[in-house]
Structure 1
Amino acid sequence: MRQKTVLITGATGLLGKQILLELLARNYKIFAIKRAASIIPINSENIHWFEIKSFEDNLFQQIPAQIDFVIHAGALVSYKKSDRERIFEINTDWTTQLASHAMEAGVKKFIFISSIAALGKKSTDHFIDEYTPISESEFLTNYGKSKRKAEESLWKLSKEGLPIIIFNPSVIIGPAKRYQSSAQLFAYVSDQKPFYTKGLINYIDVRDVAKIIVESIGNKIINEQYILNNSAISYHEFFKTIAKQLNLKAPSIGVPKFLVIFGAIMENMMSKISGKPVTLTMETAKMAGNQNIYKAEKAKHTFNITYKSLEESVEWTVSEMQKFREL
């Protein structure tokens, strides 16, 4: 029996690395895409690494095998205004191009990792699910807009015959470089910043996300969309959980949204002087005070998963990041 093949983008990222481990455990033959500057995180005879040179390249013509499934986890997560053009180029245009090539190649399923940032926000009770309507007045970051446009392109292609699944994870908790992905939140506490915003953070462990994604390959479900979220908690409690694991003082001064925006302006000014990466941009500041809770009952029912606790996720993340001196 032929070994099932998977093409995965974003394979060197926080989520991508965990997906690789899940795929290896289930004996898939993997074709992993990386950028020239990216370091290969896992070596295995079942992983074949390919370097992407242009987002316009047809990867299916370069890979010497029939691809059964695609997991498109590659994206640019940025909230910097200066990255706008690049965000849409990678998150929207590349996704559309890759999906079109996948349809031509006859893949059995195209799995797209989107984000809760792309979902509609027109809710009267702050609860959001896969069917929450879109409002013209809602605030969306460029990242959220780029992911939403990518989703719209995929739904159009699904009507033309491309079998798709879209996942919208919340903040994915797991080990990464100090100022990448959710690791920025751990760095924020590690840097002993005193402030926290009076809002909610929706979160999920990267291992839970990877497990669900890989399980979706083997089932018969197509043309569905799922929010992936464990729970929501205040930023104050979230930071306290991290601080406890680090044996540090947690941010203790709650600030209203207008002060968060002022802080973003000041931090951006200081970043230009010091050269230190910015952890608070204008876009992230505008998201401050978020009270939305993302309902993931659909995914929980379909995949029957028990999520890892926040304490377990934080303990593992801190331990792994400390091994590599990222905290």
Structure 2
Amino acid sequence: MILVTGGTGLVGAHLLYHLVKNDEKIRAIYRSEERIKKVQEVFSFYTDDAINLISKIEWFKADITDVPAMIPAFIGVEKVYHCAAFISFNPKDYREMRKVNIHGTAIIVNLAIDANVRKICFVGSIASVGDSLKGGLITEENEWNPESDNSGYSITKFGAEMEIWRASQEGVDVAIVNPGVILGSGFYTAGSGKMFTQVYNGFSYYTEGITGFVGVKDVVAAMIKLMNSSIKNERFILVAENKSFKEIFFSIADAFGKKRPTKNIKPWQTAIFWRVSWMLSLFSRKEPLLSKYSARSAHSVSKYSSEKIETTMPFQFEKIDDVIKEVSDRYVNSLSQNRP
């Protein structure tokens, strides 16, 4: 039995399809029936038999931070894909991120140890990989610096990764992937998916910060290969290409046949905007449109190396422009299907 946490998120939904396609026996954690419908939508990108494939999954309703509810989920489980996470750059969400990302992962680890799980594959993030000190490519050897001005998300993802390493010391084999910004179909109102929605609706702004990007199908493929291999107690950066946000927004616009964004936002402008946004949120009690850390990441330049996964497996990544074209096409199709 394979247990998947976060099965109704971007990575989890695409992962579930590939596991089901391989006739694996799967149990997936979910929190609401509405989220399962989103998984069915993702399955429909791959097959006309989505409903039948969804029915092969044993859906288990629980919150990963609820120990009594999670104990039965581990009955008969040999492998765990831990994809669940709380992603936010809003400082107000820090406590909730600690609860889900660190405490929730600690619970998963403890229950995995008790259940004699053989292997855990954990979806980390490049946010928990250290910066390059000399401006070179960032690798798995770069150490995360706790004294840096890290975002709450970075802190909690690093803390979650430490819990996974604890599992490796308690006899459970682990494989950790640290993906860059994940691009994939099916989730267009949050995370990286919002970029597609914004550009389609005529978003005019871009920045020239650089980071690593990767397609969700590559993330899933790497996870499955690592889980089914003899590789253990290793971490792997998953970045297909290092690109600027300008390049990404331009590529999305081209894929949609839309006008490219024309306004280059400078660091000093976002520095003002996030402060104003924060002040307004104090009165409106709504989430700020931009946070200090999301503003900073929009301009920072960080380049990552995936040489380790490429040479260990070996593994070949899909070009980001091809990923963007596929996601954009599916976005347009989803719009046409939802029109009355």
Q: Using a 3 Å threshold, how does the CA distance of structure 1 residues 109 and 58 change in structure 2: closer, same or farther?
A: farther
CA distance in 2, matches of 1:18, 1:151: 22
Contact kept? 1:115, 1:147, Cα under 8 Å? yes
2:161 aligned partner, one-letter code: E
Q: Using a 3 Å threshold, how does the CA distance of structure 1 residues 240 and 50 change in structure 2: closer, same or farther?
A: same
| CA displacement at 1:265 relative to structure 2 | 3.9
| CA displacement at 1:58 relative to structure 2 | 5.0
CA distance in 1, matches of 2:72, 2:208: 49
CA distance in 1, matches of 2:284, 2:121: 40
Q: Using a 3 Å threshold, how does the CA distance of structure 1 residues 32 and 54 change in structure 2: closer, same or farther?
A: closer
The aligned residue for residue 164 of structure 1 is: 174
CA distance in 2, matches of 1:136, 1:217: 29
Indicate which of 180, 190, 196 corresponds to 2:190. 180
Contact kept? 1:36, 1:52, Cα under 8 Å? no
Q: C-alpha offsets along residues 135-167 of structure 1, whole Å, 9 cap, x if unaligned?
A: 354332111100101111222231121211111
CA distance in 2, matches of 1:213, 1:72: 10
The aligned residue for residue 36 of structure 1 is: 32
2:186 aligned partner, one-letter code: A
Indicate which of 127, 135, 158 corresponds to 1:125. 135
CA distance in 1, matches of 2:111, 2:147: 35
The aligned residue for residue 324 of structure 1 is: 334
Contact kept? 2:90, 2:288, Cα under 8 Å? no
2:245 aligned partner, one-letter code: Y
User: Secondary structure in 2 aligned to 1:128?
Assistant: coil
2:211 aligned partner, one-letter code: I
The aligned runs of 1:1-327 (5 Å cut-off) are 5-36=1-32, 38-40=34-36, 41-42=39-40, 43=51, 44=53, 45-53=55-63, 55-58=65-68, 61-63=71-73, 65-266=75-276, 280-325=290-335
2:8 aligned partner, one-letter code: T
- Tell me the TM-score normalised to structure 2 length: 0.87
Q: Using a 3 Å threshold, how does the CA distance of structure 1 residues 136 and 96 change in structure 2: closer, same or farther?
A: closer
User: Secondary structure in 2 aligned to 1:293?
Assistant: coil
Contact kept? 2:245, 2:298, Cα under 8 Å? no
Higher helix share: 2
Contact kept? 1:6, 1:28, Cα under 8 Å? yes
Q: C-alpha offsets along residues 239-291 of structure 1, whole Å, 9 cap, x if unaligned?
A: 11000111222222223222112233455677899999765333200223221
| CA displacement at 1:176 relative to structure 2 | 3.3
- Tell me the TM-score normalised to structure 1 length: 0.90
CA distance in 2, matches of 1:8, 1:55: 15
| CA displacement at 1:63 relative to structure 2 | 3.7
| CA displacement at 1:23 relative to structure 2 | 0.6
CA distance in 1, matches of 2:75, 2:115: 11
Contact kept? 2:205, 2:261, Cα under 8 Å? yes
Deviates more, 1:238-247 or 1:149-158: 149-158
CA distance in 2, matches of 1:269, 1:320: 37
Q: Using a 3 Å threshold, how does the CA distance of structure 1 residues 148 and 255 change in structure 2: closer, same or farther?
A: same
CA distance in 1, matches of 2:207, 2:309: 29
| CA displacement at 1:109 relative to structure 2 | 0.2
Q: C-alpha offsets along residues 9-57 of structure 1, whole Å, 9 cap, x if unaligned?
A: 1111111111011111222100000013642124434310011146132
CA RMSD of aligned residues (A): 2.5
Contact kept? 1:60, 1:67, Cα under 8 Å? no
Q: Which sections of structure 2, spanning at least 5 residues, go unmatched?
A: 41-50
| CA displacement at 1:125 relative to structure 2 | 1.8
2:16 aligned partner, one-letter code: L
User: Secondary structure in 1 aligned to 2:117?
Assistant: coil
CA distance in 2, matches of 1:107, 1:64: 8
Q: Using a 3 Å threshold, how does the CA distance of structure 1 residues 177 and 269 change in structure 2: closer, same or farther?
A: farther
Q: Using a 3 Å threshold, how does the CA distance of structure 1 residues 192 and 113 change in structure 2: closer, same or farther?
A: same
Q: Which sections of structure 1, spanning at least 5 residues, go unmatched?
A: none
CA distance in 1, matches of 2:91, 2:33: 24
| CA displacement at 1:181 relative to structure 2 | 1.9
| Identity across matched positions, percent | 25
